[in-house]
Amino acid sequence: AQKVTQAQTEISVVEKEDVTLDCVYETRDTTYYLFWYKQPPSGELVFLIRRNSFDEQNEISGRYSWNFQKSTSSFNFTITASQVVDSAVYFCALSEAKGNTGKLIFGQGTTLQVKP
Amino acid sequence: DTGVSQNPRHKITKRGQNVTFRCDPISEHNRLYWYRQTLGQGPEFLTYFQNEAQLEKSRLLSDRFSAERPKGSFSTLEIQRTEQGDSAMYLCASSLAAQGHPGGYTFGSGTRLTVV
Protein backbone atom coordinates (compact mmCIF):
# COMPACT_ATOMS: atom_id res chain seq x y z
CA ALA A 1 0.00 0.00 0.00
CA GLN A 2 1.08 3.55 -0.63
CA LYS A 3 1.43 5.88 2.29
CA VAL A 4 3.13 9.13 3.16
CA THR A 5 3.79 10.07 6.76
CA GLN A 6 4.70 13.52 7.98
CA ALA A 7 5.09 12.96 11.68
CA GLN A 8 5.56 16.62 12.55
CA THR A 9 2.16 18.26 12.74
CA GLU A 10 3.40 21.72 13.65
CA ILE A 11 6.82 23.33 13.88
CA SER A 12 7.55 26.78 15.22
CA VAL A 13 10.91 28.48 14.71
CA VAL A 14 12.34 31.94 14.99
CA GLU A 15 13.38 33.72 11.83
CA LYS A 16 16.85 32.79 10.54
CA GLU A 17 16.78 29.36 12.17
CA ASP A 18 17.20 26.29 9.97
CA VAL A 19 14.30 23.84 9.97
CA THR A 20 13.88 20.32 8.59
CA LEU A 21 10.53 18.85 7.64
CA ASP A 22 10.43 15.06 7.69
CA CYS A 23 8.71 12.81 5.18
CA VAL A 24 8.61 9.01 5.20
CA TYR A 25 6.88 7.06 2.46
CA GLU A 26 5.77 3.51 1.75
CA THR A 27 5.42 1.97 -1.67
CA ARG A 28 5.85 -1.40 -3.32
CA ASP A 29 6.60 0.15 -6.67
CA THR A 30 10.24 0.40 -7.74
CA THR A 31 9.56 3.46 -9.86
CA TYR A 32 7.90 6.36 -8.15
CA TYR A 33 8.01 10.11 -7.78
CA LEU A 34 8.18 12.27 -4.71
CA PHE A 35 6.98 15.83 -4.42
CA TRP A 36 6.93 18.69 -1.97
CA TYR A 37 4.21 21.32 -2.08
CA LYS A 38 3.73 24.51 -0.09
CA GLN A 39 0.23 25.66 0.84
CA PRO A 40 0.14 29.26 2.05
CA PRO A 41 -2.97 30.68 3.76
CA SER A 42 -4.42 31.53 0.35
CA GLY A 43 -4.93 27.78 -0.15
CA GLU A 44 -3.21 27.20 -3.47
CA LEU A 45 -0.70 24.36 -3.51
CA VAL A 46 2.63 25.59 -4.84
CA PHE A 47 4.99 23.08 -6.43
CA LEU A 48 8.46 23.00 -4.90
CA ILE A 49 10.19 19.88 -6.19
CA ARG A 50 9.70 16.59 -8.01
CA ARG A 51 12.18 13.75 -7.62
CA ASN A 52 12.13 10.30 -9.22
CA SER A 53 13.11 7.14 -7.39
CA PHE A 54 16.25 6.62 -9.42
CA ASP A 55 17.77 9.95 -8.58
CA GLU A 56 19.09 10.01 -5.03
CA GLN A 57 21.17 13.10 -5.44
CA ASN A 58 20.38 15.77 -2.94
CA GLU A 59 19.12 19.00 -4.39
CA ILE A 60 19.55 22.57 -3.35
CA SER A 61 17.53 25.53 -4.58
CA GLY A 62 18.39 28.74 -2.83
CA ARG A 63 17.49 28.35 0.84
CA TYR A 64 15.72 25.04 0.15
CA SER A 65 17.36 21.64 0.10
CA TRP A 66 16.06 18.11 -0.11
CA ASN A 67 17.59 14.89 1.17
CA PHE A 68 16.30 11.75 -0.53
CA GLN A 69 17.34 8.43 1.05
CA LYS A 70 15.83 5.27 -0.41
CA SER A 71 17.39 3.14 2.33
CA THR A 72 15.18 4.80 4.92
CA SER A 73 12.32 5.72 2.53
CA SER A 74 12.67 9.34 3.47
CA PHE A 75 12.53 12.59 1.53
CA ASN A 76 13.25 15.38 3.98
CA PHE A 77 13.08 19.08 3.26
CA THR A 78 15.30 21.69 4.90
CA ILE A 79 14.83 25.43 4.88
CA THR A 80 17.98 27.33 5.74
CA ALA A 81 17.75 30.73 7.40
CA SER A 82 13.97 30.62 7.58
CA GLN A 83 11.90 33.71 6.89
CA VAL A 84 8.43 34.76 7.96
CA VAL A 85 7.24 34.25 4.37
CA ASP A 86 8.07 30.56 4.72
CA SER A 87 5.15 30.18 7.11
CA ALA A 88 2.75 27.75 5.46
CA VAL A 89 1.62 24.14 5.44
CA TYR A 90 4.05 21.88 3.62
CA PHE A 91 2.99 18.62 2.03
CA CYS A 92 5.06 15.69 0.90
CA ALA A 93 3.45 13.50 -1.77
CA LEU A 94 4.10 10.24 -3.59
CA SER A 95 3.08 9.17 -7.08
CA GLU A 96 3.66 5.62 -8.28
CA ALA A 97 4.59 4.98 -11.89
CA LYS A 98 2.53 1.79 -12.00
CA GLY A 99 -0.69 2.33 -13.89
CA ASN A 100 0.52 5.72 -15.08
CA THR A 101 -2.31 7.47 -13.25
CA GLY A 102 -0.16 10.22 -11.85
CA LYS A 103 -2.38 10.53 -8.79
CA LEU A 104 -0.70 11.93 -5.73
CA ILE A 105 -0.80 10.41 -2.26
CA PHE A 106 -0.28 13.23 0.22
CA GLY A 107 0.96 13.23 3.77
CA GLN A 108 -1.04 15.05 6.40
CA GLY A 109 1.14 18.11 6.14
CA THR A 110 3.41 20.02 8.49
CA THR A 111 2.42 23.51 9.55
CA LEU A 112 5.49 25.70 9.76
CA GLN A 113 5.32 28.94 11.69
CA VAL A 114 8.27 31.27 11.41
CA LYS A 115 8.22 34.00 14.01
CA PRO A 116 10.01 37.31 13.53
CA ASP B 1 -1.68 31.64 -19.25
CA THR B 2 -2.99 32.42 -15.77
CA GLY B 3 -2.77 28.93 -14.35
CA VAL B 4 -5.56 26.69 -13.12
CA SER B 5 -8.75 28.55 -12.38
CA GLN B 6 -11.52 27.29 -10.10
CA ASN B 7 -14.96 28.74 -9.59
CA PRO B 8 -16.55 29.58 -7.32
CA ARG B 9 -13.96 30.18 -4.60
CA HIS B 10 -16.51 29.65 -1.87
CA LYS B 11 -19.90 27.96 -1.83
CA ILE B 12 -22.32 27.71 1.05
CA THR B 13 -25.26 25.43 0.48
CA LYS B 14 -28.03 23.82 2.46
CA ARG B 15 -27.94 20.11 3.05
CA GLY B 16 -29.72 18.27 0.28
CA GLN B 17 -28.99 20.82 -2.42
CA ASN B 18 -26.92 20.12 -5.51
CA VAL B 19 -23.72 22.04 -6.23
CA THR B 20 -21.42 22.24 -9.23
CA PHE B 21 -17.83 23.41 -9.34
CA ARG B 22 -15.81 24.34 -12.39
CA CYS B 23 -12.12 23.95 -13.14
CA ASP B 24 -10.31 25.53 -16.08
CA PRO B 25 -6.88 23.89 -16.44
CA ILE B 26 -3.83 25.25 -18.19
CA SER B 27 -4.84 25.05 -21.82
CA GLU B 28 -2.18 22.67 -23.10
CA HIS B 29 -2.45 20.28 -20.14
CA ASN B 30 -4.14 17.01 -21.05
CA ARG B 31 -4.35 15.63 -17.51
CA LEU B 32 -6.83 17.02 -15.01
CA TYR B 33 -7.24 15.85 -11.40
CA TRP B 34 -9.76 16.50 -8.65
CA TYR B 35 -8.81 16.28 -4.98
CA ARG B 36 -10.67 16.88 -1.74
CA GLN B 37 -9.02 18.40 1.30
CA THR B 38 -10.62 18.50 4.74
CA LEU B 39 -9.35 20.66 7.56
CA GLY B 40 -5.96 19.62 8.87
CA GLN B 41 -5.50 16.88 6.29
CA GLY B 42 -3.66 16.46 3.04
CA PRO B 43 -5.56 16.43 -0.23
CA GLU B 44 -7.16 13.11 -1.22
CA PHE B 45 -7.49 11.97 -4.79
CA LEU B 46 -11.01 11.84 -6.21
CA THR B 47 -10.74 11.34 -9.96
CA TYR B 48 -8.74 12.22 -13.04
CA PHE B 49 -9.14 12.77 -16.76
CA GLN B 50 -6.85 12.38 -19.69
CA ASN B 51 -8.32 14.67 -22.28
CA GLU B 52 -12.07 13.98 -22.11
CA ALA B 53 -11.78 10.44 -20.75
CA GLN B 54 -12.32 9.85 -17.05
CA LEU B 55 -9.79 7.13 -16.28
CA GLU B 56 -10.08 6.52 -12.56
CA LYS B 57 -12.43 7.29 -9.73
CA SER B 58 -11.60 6.91 -6.06
CA ARG B 59 -13.87 4.96 -3.74
CA LEU B 60 -14.30 8.32 -2.01
CA LEU B 61 -16.36 9.39 -4.99
CA SER B 62 -19.80 8.14 -4.05
CA ASP B 63 -22.65 7.93 -6.54
CA ARG B 64 -23.67 11.43 -5.49
CA PHE B 65 -20.54 12.77 -7.12
CA SER B 66 -20.04 13.10 -10.85
CA ALA B 67 -17.31 14.72 -12.87
CA GLU B 68 -17.09 15.59 -16.52
CA ARG B 69 -14.59 17.07 -18.87
CA PRO B 70 -16.36 17.66 -22.15
CA LYS B 71 -14.06 18.29 -25.11
CA GLY B 72 -11.04 17.78 -22.89
CA SER B 73 -10.97 21.38 -21.72
CA PHE B 74 -12.68 22.58 -18.53
CA SER B 75 -14.08 20.14 -16.01
CA THR B 76 -17.06 20.20 -13.69
CA LEU B 77 -17.58 18.37 -10.41
CA GLU B 78 -21.17 18.00 -9.27
CA ILE B 79 -22.33 16.86 -5.87
CA GLN B 80 -25.96 15.88 -5.58
CA ARG B 81 -27.95 15.87 -2.33
CA THR B 82 -25.09 17.42 -0.39
CA GLU B 83 -24.36 16.23 3.13
CA GLN B 84 -22.48 17.99 5.92
CA GLY B 85 -19.62 15.55 5.44
CA ASP B 86 -19.09 16.96 1.97
CA SER B 87 -17.82 20.20 3.49
CA ALA B 88 -14.23 20.51 2.31
CA MET B 89 -11.89 22.27 -0.08
CA TYR B 90 -12.14 20.82 -3.58
CA LEU B 91 -8.90 21.22 -5.49
CA CYS B 92 -8.27 20.85 -9.19
CA ALA B 93 -4.85 20.21 -10.71
CA SER B 94 -3.58 19.82 -14.23
CA SER B 95 -0.40 18.58 -15.85
CA LEU B 96 1.06 18.16 -19.28
CA ALA B 97 1.69 14.48 -18.75
CA ALA B 98 1.58 11.82 -16.08
CA GLN B 99 3.79 12.12 -13.04
CA GLY B 100 3.79 15.86 -13.29
CA HIS B 101 6.87 15.96 -15.46
CA PRO B 102 8.75 18.18 -15.43
CA GLY B 103 7.20 20.95 -13.40
CA GLY B 104 4.86 19.09 -11.14
CA TYR B 105 1.14 19.44 -11.13
CA THR B 106 -0.36 22.93 -11.16
CA PHE B 107 -3.11 23.35 -8.62
CA GLY B 108 -5.93 25.83 -8.57
CA SER B 109 -6.89 27.81 -5.49
CA GLY B 110 -9.75 25.48 -4.77
CA THR B 111 -13.45 25.77 -4.06
CA ARG B 112 -14.35 25.75 -0.40
CA LEU B 113 -17.72 24.08 0.14
CA THR B 114 -19.66 24.54 3.34
CA VAL B 115 -22.82 22.50 3.78
CA VAL B 116 -25.13 23.85 6.48
What's the mean pLDDT in B48-67? 92
Using DSSP, state whether A99 is helix, strand or coil.
helix
pLDDT for position A42: 85
Judged against a pLDDT cut of 60, whether residue A96 lies above it is answered with yes
CA separation for the pair A43, A48 (Å, rounded): 15
Question: Which positions ≥6 away from A34 have C-beta within 8 Å?
Answer: A23, A25, A50, A51, A52, A53, A68, A75, A92, A93, A94, A95
- The CB density around residue A2, as the number of other CB atoms within 10 Å, is 16
pLDDT band at B90; cut points 50, 70, 90: very high
User: Are B43 and A104 within 8 A, CB to CB?
Assistant: yes
Backbone angles phi, psi at B76, to 5 degrees: -125, 145
B33, B6 contact by CB (below 8 A): no
CA separation for the pair B116, B97 (Å, rounded): 38
CA separation for the pair B112, A44 (Å, rounded): 12
Residue of B38, B51, B107 best to disrupt the A interface, most CBs of A under 10 A: B107
What's the mean pLDDT in A99-114? 92
> Could you report the per-residue pLDDT of B21-36, keeping only the tens digit for each?
999 999 888 899 999 9
User: Are B55 and A101 within 8 A, CB to CB?
Assistant: yes
Distance from the Cα of B42 to chain A's closest Cα (Å) equals 4
CA separation for the pair A24, B96 (Å, rounded): 27
> Could you report the per-residue pLDDT of A53-86, keeping only the tens digit for each?
988 888 889 999 999 999 999 999 999 999 999 9
Query: Measured between beta carbons, which residues in chain A are less than 8 angstroms from residue B95?
Result: 102
Residue A66 contacts B where some CB pair is shorter than 8 Å: no
Judged against a pLDDT cut of 60, whether residue B102 lies above it is answered with no
Query: Measured between beta carbons, which residues in chain B are less than 8 angstroms from residue A31?
Result: none
